[in-house]
Amino acid sequence: MSLRIAFTSAIRAVSRPYLVLPAALSLATLALLSPPAMDDASAQGFRMQGPRPGFVGGGFSAGGPSGRFPSARARRFSGRPFIHPKSGPRRRANGIVATVPGNGKGGMGMRGGPRRTGTTTDTRHPKGHGRHPKGHRRHSSHRFWPPIVVPGGTTVVAVPVPGPSAPPPNVRGGSRRPPSTPPAQSNRRPPANRPPAASVASTNWGRYVPNEVVVEVASGISPRTMDALLRRHRLTQLETVNLQFSGTSIRRLRINNRRSVPAVVRALAADRAIMAAQPNLLATLQDDVAAPAAAATDLQQYALARMRMPEAHGLANGDRVLIAVIDSGADTEHPELAGMILDTFDAIGTGDRVHAHGTSIVGAIAARARLRGTAPGAHILVARAFGPSRTSMDGTTTDIIKSLDWAMARGARIINMSFAGGRDPAVARRLNEARGRGIVLVAAAGNAGPNSAPLYPAANRAVIAVTATDDGDRIYRAANRGKHVAVAAPGVDLLLPTLGSDYRMTSGTSFSAAEVTGVIALMLERNPTLGPDAVRQALVSTARDLGAPGVDPQFGAGLVDAYEAVRSVIPATAAAGASPTTGSGGQ
């Protein structure tokens, strides 16, 4: 209306010269008294869809289109900024910002900073308490529109899709990763049995492959999610092992830079797409220095006699009981082993496929030519997880897991593990699965000496740990001790088969464990319904006590008595018809 009057006065002034001076005075007065020229959206209360030129934060920039004060009166009070009732706080060139109760900076839809409530923010007038100088109150009753929050980015959610068919457990080989891209976030929730990540950071891992880690993920994880995980942690996938009995998948991954393995494991353990993470740990076959075979010919029978194997063979010989040996490769052409190895599996896939240790272990269980094993009628499955070369004794987490999964799939009743190392959570989970399926697990106590910490898998509660004794029933000098030791068996100076149809004299808890594995095969032949707990109980309750009375950390329950162990598990009806066997029957 004021502009219309001024315009009319100007027209009249053109036609009537004596009106020019009054019209000019009217225009000057209106310019001083009119409100500031505001943006249309702010003046009319429209919500703006984002920031516009001239706005900085929630106020106005000093040089913006609305960066002046509305009146000369307000300019006189430069110490306190004026806040127009419809425009929110303003920012003057001196940097002072005022806020009012309500929705804080931003006014009517102007994109501002954090929401504030309270009084005027002015360090030069701390006692202003929101009041205009000279007592004039601000108009705080006006309704302030909430600020529009514009997201800074978009979260990409990876939707799991069915992956390709699972590769065989021994499929190896990685693939080149695509160029690095922003990682996709997954909404996949981890399974309920995810191991606690806190235990990962505090584990003393021991020996492991320097630049590799092992993770366990759901078997149905989508390729897209897995690729994002690899990019996120800067890893390259080397191998996939799809486990048949857990619904999970083991992935062997290479670290692509010089980060330490424990640091990468900790980072992976915090990733929700991963169920468990650990190094690719190393375990070692438990073998001592071998001596020429000729020196052992006079001792080859002491082990059988100490355990009363001749009497036990009068009751059973392990006929067709399926035993899996997870070890190095065995010489299937050796005369002692001919015809008894039912199947083999190579988890390593490269290097020497036969090894002295694996050959001797199978011979201790089932030799039946010049020597006699503890279960000469058993059928043997050999899984090669150790000894990438004939001079190597090491095996990795992934190769052990592949071998365990294969043995379970083949229906093994007993699994012999003549190796030892640090605690391996991934292997422990597979052992618990095997025990849950009724498989009896036997392991060497270890050859690290009396001061060593317990070694695994023998120290796992699902496993029967076996230590070694000599021909005088004395403890093997290098044997581990501990409460986990269940029983003992001869393991010093044993004559056993080796490579090239030859024989060697060797020592170690490895071979004691193999002998007890054979005894268990005899027990299962006579009573196939036995479970792991019943087998352990029979061995412990019939063992001949050695050392301190009762169970002790050196010998466990004592030396295995094969004859009494087998006889104790024969069902009552069968035992009534069986005649006692004495002497060397069965030889």
Q: Which residues are marked as active site?
A: 327, 357, 510
The tokens of 163 are what?
Answer: 């992956």
Q: Per-residue DSSP letters for 247-267?
A: SEEEEEEEESSS--HHHHHHH
Residue by residue, what is the 3-state secondary structure of 144-189?
CCCCCCCCCCCCCEECCCCCCCCCCCCCECCCCCCCCCCCCEECCC
Residue whose C-alpha is closest to residue 354's, from 521, 494, 502: 502
Quick one: how many helices (H) and strands (E) in the chain?
16, 19
CA angle 23, 27, 33 (to 5 degrees): 140
Radius of gyration of the CA atoms of the chain, in A: 41
* Gap between the Cα atoms of 195 and 206, Å rounded: 19
The single-letter DSSP state of residue 319 is T
Sort 277 into a burial class: Cβ within 10 Å, 0-12 / 13-18 / 19+. buried
Is the Cβ–Cβ distance between 64 and 24 less than 8 Å? Answer: no
Residue whose C-alpha is closest to residue 317's, from 526, 571, 515, 464: 526
Residue 126 C-beta-side C-alpha neighbours within 13 Å: 1
Is the Cβ–Cβ distance between 453 and 423 less than 8 Å? Answer: no
Residue by residue, what is the 3-state secondary structure of 320-370?
CCEEEEEECCCCCCCCCCCCCEEEEEECCCCCCCCCHHHHHHHHHHHCCCC
Residue 551 vs residues 488, 516, 555: alpha-carbon distances, Å:
11, 18, 7
* Gap between the Cα atoms of 326 and 422, Å rounded: 17
Q: Per-residue DSSP letters for 25-42?
A: HHHHHHHHHSPP---HHH
Helix locations, 34-147, DSSP H: 40-43, 72-75
Residues 417-432 as b or e (16 or more Cβ within 10 Å = b): bbbbbbbbbbbbbbbe
Q: How would you classify the pairing of strands 276-285 and 208-218? A: antiparallel
* Gap between the Cα atoms of 121 and 250, Å rounded: 59
Any residues with CB less than 8 A from the CB of 533 and at least 6 apart, and which? none
> Three-state SS for 427?
helix
- For residue 212, the tally of other CB atoms under 10 A from its CB is 21
The tokens of 270 are what?
Answer: 């915090």
* Gap between the Cα atoms of 429 and 191, Å rounded: 14
The torsion angles phi and psi of 154, rounded to 5 degrees, stand at -115, 130
